[in-house]
Amino acid sequence: MRDMSKFADIQIDPGIVKRAARGDVRAHEIIYRAFSSPVYSVCLRFTRVPAQAEDLLQETFIEVMRSISKFRGEAPLGSWIRRIAISKALMYLRSAWHSRGQSLDDDWDEVTAGGAEVHGVPGRPDQALDLDAALGNLPPVSRAVVWLHDVEGFTHREIAGLMGKTESFSKSQLSRAYRRLRPLLDPSVGNTATGSVLRGPALQSC
Amino acid sequence: MTDKERMDEAIAGGLDESQRDLLRARLSALPDTVPPRAVWQRIEAQARAEGLLSGTRFRQSSKWLAGAAIAAAVAIVVLRLPFTAGPAIDTQSFGTEPPLAEMQNNNGLHAVNALMVQSQRLERNLRALPGQPSVMRAGTAATIYELEAGIAAIDSRLNHSEDSLTQEQAEIYWRERVRLMDSLVRLRYAQAQRVSF
């Protein structure tokens, strides 16, 4: 796994971790303040629903509190917390709470049936200017695969393990997502957007 | 073209290496979102309820628990109102009841706090569900009404008797509230599922 996510940039003093392992609320609050934004952002990317992302954030840090005494420091704390958050977010995608009861199966048919695009041509030109919106229009599982692979640096094998699927499934999801996102990478689009593609708008919580 | 090259090209989804790098850079550059401040308070409350934190900061209002006085025996009857015939919904996929062993291991105060947190979580789950359909089965509507009425009765009791409830009584009320909320969420969820299909 290429550790290229924002989690890896956050350093926590080992003394804080030890205090947290003893149940020190201040230490836990420090850890929360350090990692809450990246955790929440990942959860929001996966779910697109602020209320659910908040719940996943809560579940993640409760799990951190339950388990931090077992954390041995062999990997960075951020990687450990990220793993918990991603696990929770994927559980959400598998859960009954996920809208329409979708499973972690191939759900591209539903998306393409909606007429969004065929063969990489965006249905609405303005969506090509907005990476965040384009991500949001991917099927949830594909969005998760893109994020895990391209941002968090997970391999297809790792993604397959996390999702309980095959490597081929992960590769297929990524490939189809790339085809959908390809118009965003057209240099002429980037120029006319005066760089707005690079700055996709932040998701807003409500 | 070798098989491996064909596979790599398929995975790339038509993107060349520079485009993939560009996409990764743009994805990584998407800004993080700061969560609402209230989330930490909820986490802290749940963690304290589960006994995960040490320290002396205790923010839960214990006034109404400490002021245990009159046993609200009549109120307990309210809890046994006809809510036992819940809707036939799969109960395996939710898991909202606290583990029995965990609850028994906590003292009464922790149990009440845990139930309060659980109740809040169910409220949030309920809010996250789509609104009720304009047309629904009469039986479903009646059950929803009964559940909501039961919850309202408990809320009323908790709000107006907070200084007179013993810890045990409060726990009974909160446990019943969680049970009713759980039934309501299950019913509304099943309803939403039916509407979506």
Q: Which of A42, A43, A62 to mutate to test the interface with B (most CBs of B within 10 A)?
A: A62
> Which residue does chain B place closest to A63, by CA atoms?
B47
CB atoms within 10 A of CB A73: 10
Q: Are B89 and B187 in contact (CB under 8 A)?
A: yes
- What are the sequence ranges of the domains in chain A? 6-99, 102-199
Q: Domain A102-199 falls in which CATH fold?
A: Arc Repressor Mutant, subunit A (1.10.10)
Report chain B residues whose CB lies below 8 A from the CB of A200. Answer: 26, 30
CATH number at A6-99: 1.10.1740.10
User: Would the pTM of this model clear 0.90, i.e. be above it?
Assistant: no
A26–B30 C-beta distance less than 8 A: no
Which residue of chain A is at minimal alpha-carbon distance from B51?
A23
| pLDDT tens over chain A, length 206 residues | 555 578 888 989 999 999 999 999 999 999 999 999 999 999 999 998 899 899 999 999 999 999 999 998 888 999 999 999 999 999 888 875 555 545 555 565 555 444 333 333 344 444 434 788 888 889 999 999 999 999 999 999 999 999 889 999 999 999 999 988 887 776 555 444 333 333 333 444 33
Locate the domains of chain B by residue range: 1-31, 36-196
The DSSP annotation for chain B comes to --HHHHHHHHHHTT--HHHHHHHHHHHHHSPP-PPPTHHHHHHHHHHHHTT---SS---S--HHHHT--S--HHHHHHHTSS--S------TTT--SPPHHHHHHS-HHHHHHHHHHHHHHHHHHHHHSPPPPSS--HHHHHHHHHHHHHHHHHHHHHHHSTTT--HHHHHHHHHHHHHHHHHHHHHHHHHHHHHH-
A90-145: pLDDT as tens digits: 988 887 555 554 555 556 555 544 433 333 334 444 443 478 888 888 999 999 99
Considering only CA atoms, which of A19, A25, A52, A54 is closest in space to residue A37? A54
User: CA B86 to CA B162: how far, in whole Å?
Assistant: 28
